[in-house]
Chain A
């Protein structure tokens, strides 16, 4: 018997889905008993991941899909939210992500998305998927500090 609740969204590469994804994230964050700040910051991390998938992964080619999968666990009394975001782009080497806190990058107008994900979630994994594209897996628990 499964011990998780899984909610899966799949949509074209367009930012008009961002607010919907955010609402889903906030609703599931509340079910996982996150406090208000954690609900907010998790939704920011999820938005950043989806924006990256649309803009940098799928290069805003609308026919390419973005898949977002939320997993609440354990199902009886959830306190942990895992979010998996997969695009159909070429992927990238996570090592190449620049440090936005480096003095030479502080005043750059972009490059903070992955940093936000890492800051607001307990765990973040970025990897290329075998069939192409990038997979981001982020985890947040209500037992961790926000």
Chain B
């Protein structure tokens, strides 16, 4: 798992690349999010376009990220979900929790609305 960071307007976009599974990416994501929150960033967008595989630990890390960001007054949203990640979020009812977008432009502008 690699995480690349970009800033669009007032939103930090994290491009996740690779599997998000136990021992592979879950700790990296946690550290990245904690660093961004410590730096005062509140609007975070996870781009999941290049995440081919998520297991329960990886999904759990996304949930933990969401709750961590929310508790600190921030907002976490998801964009470019693959069909399989969408299916995972659907069966776990997490689609009802997360703000998800098909377009990065729509996702970024949603932080301003």
**A19 vs B59: C-alpha distance when bound (angstroms):** 18
Give chain B residues whose Cβ lies under 8 Å from the Cβ of A100.
92
- Size of B's binding interface in residues, CB under 8 A: 20
Among B61, B66, B93, the one with the most A-chain Cβ atoms within 10 Å of its Cβ is B93
Nearest CB in chain B: distance from A37 CB, A: 8
In the complex, the answer to whether B23 meets A109 with C-beta atoms within 8 Å is no
Give chain B residues whose Cβ lies under 8 Å from the Cβ of A18.
21-22
Interface residues of A, dominant DSSP: helix
Interface residues of B, dominant DSSP: helix
Q: Which B residues fall within an 8 A CB radius of A?
A: 21-23, 53, 55-57, 59-61, 63-64, 66-67, 84, 91-94, 97
- Size of A's binding interface in residues, CB under 8 A: 20
CB < 8 Å: which of A37, A106, A113 contacts B56?
Answer: A113
In the complex, the answer to whether B60 meets A110 with C-beta atoms within 8 Å is yes
Q: Which A residues fall within an 8 A CB radius of B?
A: 15, 18, 37, 40, 44, 47-48, 51, 100-101, 106-110, 112-113, 115-116, 119
